[in-house]
Chain A
């Protein structure tokens, strides 16, 4: 029995991205195409998102010119591909506070946002450090913090302390402290409550298949190329993800991996963005096969 449909929705992309930014120490291995995506989990009467992307209005020009980020589309355009609107989303699990994951909360007026407490508290601690430590507080937009204040006042932002099993029926949250960021988290979806039929949504603790499966699939775990945490913790966190899906690496979903379009049923929208159907709930109609 399957309770949840899971789609990975591309909302923008970088055409050429340094491979070394994705896989630790992958020097001189050129560039790859990197999709920017979020995940929709639909089922049990809920519409859940894992991360919300960023708001192009504020950064579009700079990102486009400096980083070759192209084809950004708003959540209303992207979610329409799976028959949803931003207003339908009731729950958002924020894997970490970087602006490209937490930078568009205003587009989801009915959602409650869940983030690890450590993600916020450690970033704010980092802000007490002098200028030379600036690297440690990178990726956080003050505008997102200010919007967070408003969300908290409205009771729409909640903090989590560590792992939460059965956060929602069949959905577990796992903390990955001191990895990509101070308080990253990832998500496990258990179909029918079964651990055998489950999926892990990795957040940015795995950018590519290579992080999880090793170079040439040799099984050696590789940390991501960009982090403020420990490479050791990243490797143990990758191992934990694999354990949670019975060591079937194909059940760990890295959202920045272009290859997921080949591993799972997918299609390209008329905006040239991909929709990947990781799994379908019983009775749900496919959004990629017409």
Chain B
């Protein structure tokens, strides 16, 4: 078992061990095999396992805002304030957590994609209050939000191509539940 800093839980340790074994046995899902040869496998496993919740939270923020935008565009009068405030809160926590993450040598490019995504979303929330007022925004404001979401999503997608379980969709719980 790879030793983790005190306070890390067993679940995370197990996840790190699984990722580590994947990399050691050459079954890594990373597309960048060349790079993965150069990085410290233990540190990388810890990095990816620690990042999973942040990745999922960033994805959820994009889902929540784009989903609210979609409902608005389609004229569905649904109270999305809880969805948006929960997304905002997630983003604050993720931003806070991610800044202290130890990035192994060779994976900075991965981390940068994630950071660009987080920065874009933070900028969006700073510029637009994004509450119930989403229903009263003009076309220009909405286009600005959509553009930012597209940008955040494309960076997140780039970071998901490094995979290690960081997928844009939860395959295990959708129709592709045939993992074995």
Contacts and interface: CB of A to CB of B under 8 A. Distances in A.
Interface of A: 14, 16-18, 21, 31, 34, 58-59, 61-63, 65-69, 98-101, 117, 120-121, 123-125, 127-131, 134-135, 137-143, 145-146, 148-150, 152-153, 157-159, 204, 225-226
A101 B174 CA distance: 11
Contacts of A21: 177-178
Nearest to B59: A142
Contacts of A17: 178
Contacts of A139: 169-170, 173-175
A134 B90 CA distance: 13
B57 to A, nearest CB: 8
Interface in B17-63: 29, 31, 53, 56-57, 59-60, 62-63
Nearest to A129: B86
A187 B69 CA distance: 28
Contacts of B63: 127, 137, 140, 142, 145
Interface of B: 29, 31, 53, 56-57, 59-60, 62-64, 66-71, 73-74, 76, 78, 80, 82-83, 85-87, 146, 149-150, 153, 156-157, 163, 167-180
A128 B174 contact: no
B180 A18 contact: yes
A37 B78 CA distance: 33
A98 B174 contact: yes
A138 B29 contact: no
Nearest to B167: A62
Contacts of B74: 117, 120, 152, 157-159
A27 to B, nearest CB: 14
Nearest to A135: B173
Contact of A34 (B83, B146, B156, B178): B178
Given A127-B87, A142-B66, A149-B66, 14 more contacts: A14-B178, A21-B177, A21-B178, A59-B168, A66-B29, A99-B169, A120-B76, A128-B86, A134-B60, A137-B60, A140-B63, A143-B153, A146-B66, A226-B173
Contacts of A137: 60, 63
A127 B60 CA distance: 7
Shortest 10 CB-CB contacts between residues of A and residues of B: A139-B174, A138-B173, A152-B73, A124-B67, A17-B178, A128-B83, A128-B82, A145-B66, A138-B170, A127-B64
B149 to A, nearest CB: 6
Given A62-B29, A124-B68, A141-B168, A146 B149 contact: yes
Nearest to B64: A127
B29 A125 contact: no
Contacts of A225: 177
Contact of B64 (A58, A128, A135, A159): A128
Contacts of A67: 171, 176, 178-179
B154 to A, nearest CB: 9
9 contacts: A16-B178, A61-B29, A67-B178, A127-B83, A128-B83, A129-B86, A134-B56, A149-B70, A226-B173
